[in-house]
């Protein structure tokens, strides 16, 4: 061994000195021998009277009385690979973190112990400063060793993906950081708040001491302003009641239960709330069955497009339709889109859905054009799902679908969101150009909800802008919304783009849009999405009457 190798060599003395300098110790617990052994900074950690080895009873006795149940938790034999993660305070010492793992078929456990302040940074979510998921579960486990009635509450931020698309990830992170600060301030005295997922916050609080769900909602749903935009967050909240003590449920199991409640809350729409009950377990099993049914639905042809009319505001005639996916379940009947579209995305089937919708819509549009030549340049819009613009063979598939259906150029309109474009603008621009060359027309959906469209709009090959329905629905009551609608219409005209306003609920809104010189209107004021046969009846009636009927006022 050369001089350099000798200088870098480690020995037992060096390792012990390093542990002592870091106020850290190693521990090994062997239940069969009733022996706990320590190496390192035992005195600083309150383990001096126990070192270098002691019995399990002696180890428990040195813990402060309220933490002795936690000390016993370290000693309880577990399966191999089970992690040890406990906050424990010994007499005359500060709180320490015990981390380790059970080894050799559970014959012994080994790990490290250090002052909590040494571990603190790694146990915090870097974005919000709240506890991270693992630490929250550890703290919850410690709390639940104490008898009492508790409530675990989880809030899921609604539409975070949409927020990311509209603001970008960095600005959306600012929103999450602000929500974390608000939650921490609201429960600073009663509970340690945690961020347990990308869009989920959690609390474990004494039951009845605070109205946890209500206070959590109050803290998180206050409006905030980010990058010049007013954000109005909403959350879906789930809760589960639990009794503490020796027989308390495992925190990870409790978290599973409360997340079932969150999913139940989401079914009520944004801002829902639900408590865990046994019925949700059967609902969870039903979800598994629904997943299997959904896979089969693609094979059995149960998913089909419904068509919502798009009306020329100037003439009142039907100009086209937007195709929206619907599922005719053989037993449940028509499944609402919000019950299966999210599941479709989770199962990785959105590209299959997009291809199916394009193919069926193109075929249906071709039949209508042949049967109703007086309909003029009738078109049909199909949404590209998130990420679909980046999939391989998209352009080839679109070209083949248009060719097979014999559609004229531009009759099949593909709608994309700004978020899809902004991930890779250069690549998106090239794909959009190829799609237009293949015979499709292109619409930018929900325009007005993003912040960067103006930088790229002039050089992307769109022919249509779609104004987000929120601005249209509120333009007769909110001056800001009215100004946004008029600005988008004027921008579209300046760039030679057609503009479609979604959310036309009544004749009053249609009149305001016409006065603003908007080209097209779409919404429940004309019709909801209709099955193909009913959509054709609607088209026939509008052709016969010369105009599409519209409600005078909202229902």
pLDDT, tens digit, 9 for 90 and up, residues 364-417: 999 999 999 888 889 999 999 877 888 889 999 999 999 999 999 999 999 998
Q: What are phi and psi of 225, to 5 degrees?
A: -120, 125
Q: State the Cα–Cα distance between residues 325 and 306, nearest whole angstrom.
A: 6
* pLDDT of amino acid 441: 95
> What percent of the chain is predicted at pLDDT more than 90?
36
The closest alpha carbon to 292, from 343, 224, 361, 335, belongs to: 343
Q: Residues 407, 365: contact at Cβ < 8 Å? A: yes
CATH 3.40.50.2300 fits domain 301-545: no
Q: State the Cα–Cα distance between residues 536 and 140, nearest whole angstrom.
A: 59
The closest alpha carbon to 73, from 52, 56, 58, belongs to: 56
Q: State the Cα–Cα distance between residues 71 and 142, nearest whole angstrom.
A: 10
The pLDDT tens digits of the residues spanning 76-95 come to 998 888 888 888 888 878 88
- Burial of residue 504 (number of CB atoms within 10 Å: 0-12, 13-18, 19+): buried
Cis preceding-peptide flag for 52 (omega within 30 of 0): yes
pTM: 0.54
Any residues with CB less than 8 A from the CB of 429 and at least 6 apart, and which?
456, 459, 460, 461
Alpha helices in 22-88 (DSSP H): 56-62, 68-75
The closest alpha carbon to 495, from 459, 452, 449, belongs to: 459
Q: State the Cα–Cα distance between residues 53 and 431, nearest whole angstrom.
A: 68
| Dihedral angle over CA of 142, 143, 148, 153, nearest 10 | -130
DSSP state of 506: S
Given this chain, do its domains 12-115 and 301-545 carry the same CATH topology? no
Most confident option among 8-22, 347-361, 457-471: 347-361
The closest alpha carbon to 73, from 248, 280, 202, belongs to: 248
Say whether 35 sits in a helix, a strand or coil. strand
* pLDDT of amino acid 442: 95
Say whether 408 sits in a helix, a strand or coil. coil
Q: State the Cα–Cα distance between residues 12 and 5, nearest whole angstrom.
A: 17
If you compute the radius of gyration of the chain from its CA atoms, what whole number of angstroms results? Answer: 31
- Burial of residue 382 (number of CB atoms within 10 Å: 0-12, 13-18, 19+): buried
**Higher pLDDT, residue 383 or 118:** 383
Q: State the Cα–Cα distance between residues 195 and 180, nearest whole angstrom.
A: 8
Taking 90 as the threshold, does the pLDDT of residue 329 lie above it? no
Q: State the Cα–Cα distance between residues 89 and 74, nearest whole angstrom.
A: 13
Q: State the Cα–Cα distance between residues 41 and 339, nearest whole angstrom.
A: 56
* pLDDT of amino acid 152: 92
**Higher pLDDT, residue 86 or 326:** 326
CATH 3.30.460.80 fits domain 133-278: no
The pLDDT tens digits of the residues spanning 496-512 come to 999 999 999 999 999 99
Q: What is the strand order of the sheet 108-115 is part of?
A: 53-54, 35-40, 24-30, 108-115, 95-103, 83-89
Largest Cα–Cα distance in the chain?
A: 98
Q: What are phi and psi of 209, to 5 degrees?
A: -70, -35
Pull the structure tokens for residue 436: 């237009």
CA angle (555 as vertex; 320, 271 as ends), nearest 5 = 90
Q: Where are the domains of the chain?
A: 12-115, 133-278, 301-545
CA angle (84 as vertex; 78, 90 as ends), nearest 5 = 115
Q: What are phi and psi of 242, to 5 degrees?
A: -150, 145
> Which CATH topology does 12-115 take?
Beta-Lactamase (3.30.450)
Any residues with CB less than 8 A from the CB of 247 and at least 6 apart, and which?
none
Residue 257: band (very low, low, confident or very high) from pLDDT cuts 50, 70, 90: confident
The pLDDT tens digits of the residues spanning 22-33 come to 778 899 999 999
Q: State the Cα–Cα distance between residues 243 and 149, nearest whole angstrom.
A: 5
Pull the structure tokens for residue 107: 């014959």
Pull the structure tokens for residue 129: 């400063």
Q: State the Cα–Cα distance between residues 43 and 50, nearest whole angstrom.
A: 9
* Mean pLDDT across 218-243: 87
Parallel/antiparallel/unpaired status of strands 379-383 and 333-335:
unpaired
Residue 5: band (very low, low, confident or very high) from pLDDT cuts 50, 70, 90: very low
* pLDDT of amino acid 3: 46
* pLDDT of amino acid 339: 73
Taking 80 as the threshold, does the pLDDT of residue 448 lie above it? no
Taking 80 as the threshold, does the pLDDT of residue 228 lie above it? no
Average pLDDT over the chain, rounded to an integer: 85
* Mean pLDDT across 6-16: 55
Pull the structure tokens for residue 94: 């500060």
The pLDDT tens digits of the residues spanning 41-64 come to 888 888 988 989 999 999 999 998
**Higher pLDDT, residue 206 or 288:** 206
Pull the structure tokens for residue 301: 């042809």
The closest alpha carbon to 210, from 150, 261, 275, belongs to: 150
The closest alpha carbon to 180, from 208, 199, 166, 167, belongs to: 199
* pLDDT of amino acid 555: 37
Any residues with CB less than 8 A from the CB of 382 and at least 6 apart, and which?
305, 322, 323, 354, 357, 358, 361, 412, 413, 414, 415
């Amino acid at each position: 061994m050369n001089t350099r190798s000798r200088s870098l060599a480690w020995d037992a003395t060096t390792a012990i000195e390093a542990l002592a300098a870091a106020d850290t110790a190693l521990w090994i617990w062997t239940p069969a021998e009733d022996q706990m052994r320590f190496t390192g900074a035992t005195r600083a950690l309150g383990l001096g009277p126990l070192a270098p080895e002691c019995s399990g009873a002696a180890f428990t006795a040195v813990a402060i009385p309220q933490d002795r149940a936690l000390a016993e938790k370290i000693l309880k034999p577990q399966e191999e690979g089970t992690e040890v993660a406990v906050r424990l305070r010994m007499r005359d010492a500060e709180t320490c973190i015990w981390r380790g793992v059970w080894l050799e078929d559970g014959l012994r456990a080994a790990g490290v112990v250090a002052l909590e302040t040494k571990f603190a940074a790694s146990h915090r979510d870097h974005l919000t400063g709240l506890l991270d998921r693992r630490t929250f579960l550890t703290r919850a486990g410690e709390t639940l060793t104490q008898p009492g009635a508790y409530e675990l509450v989880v809030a899921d931020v609604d539409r975070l993906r949409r927020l990311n698309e509209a603001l970008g990830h960095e600005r959306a992170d600012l929103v999450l950081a602000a929500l974390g600060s608000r939650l921490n301030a609201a429960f600073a005295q009663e509970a340690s708040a945690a961020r347990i997922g990308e869009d989920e916050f959690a609390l474990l609080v004494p039951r009845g001491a605070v109205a946890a769900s209500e206070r959590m909602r109050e803290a998180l749903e206050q409006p905030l302003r980010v990058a010049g935009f007013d954000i109005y967050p909403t959350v879906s909240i789930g809760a589960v009641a639990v009794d503490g003590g020796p027989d308390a449920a495992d925190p990870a199991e409790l978290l599973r239960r409360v997340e079932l409640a969150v999913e139940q809350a989401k079914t009520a729409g944004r801002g829902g709330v639900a408590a865990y009950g046994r019925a949700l377990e059967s609902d969870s099993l039903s979800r598994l069955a629904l997943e299997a049914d959904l896979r089969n639905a693609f094979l059995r042809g149960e998913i089909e497009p419904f068509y919502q009319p798009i009306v020329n505001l100037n003439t009142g005639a039907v100009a086209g339709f937007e195709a929206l996916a619907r599922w005719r379940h053989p037993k449940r009947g028509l499944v609402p889109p919000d019950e299966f579209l999210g599941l479709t995305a989770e199962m990785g089937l959105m590209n299959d859905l997009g291809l199916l919708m394009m193919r069926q819509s193109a075929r249906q549009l071709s039949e209508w054009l042949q049967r109703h030549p007086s309909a003029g340049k009738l078109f049909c819009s199909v949404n590209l799902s998130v990420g679909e613009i980046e999939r391989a063979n998209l352009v080839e598939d679109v070209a083949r679908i248009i060719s097979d259906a014999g559609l004229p150029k531009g009759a099949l309109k593909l709608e994309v969101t700004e978020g899809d474009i902004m991930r890779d603008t250069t690549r998106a621009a090239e794909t959009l150009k190829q799609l237009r060359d293949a015979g499709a027309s292109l619409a930018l959906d929900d325009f007005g909800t993003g912040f960067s469209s103006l930088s790229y709009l002039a050089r992307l090959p769109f022919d249509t802008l779609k104004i987000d329905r929120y601005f249209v629905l509120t333009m007769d009551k909110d001056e800001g919304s009215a100004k946004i609608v008029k600005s988008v219409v004027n921008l579209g005209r300046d760039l030679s783009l057609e503009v479609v306003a979604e959310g036309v609920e009544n004749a009053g809104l249609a009149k305001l849009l016409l006065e603003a010189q908007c080209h097209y209107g779409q919404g429940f004021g004309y019709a909801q999405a209709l099955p193909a046969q009913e959509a054709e009846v609607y088209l026939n009636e509008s052709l016969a009457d010369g105009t599409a009927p519209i409600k005078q006022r909202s229902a």
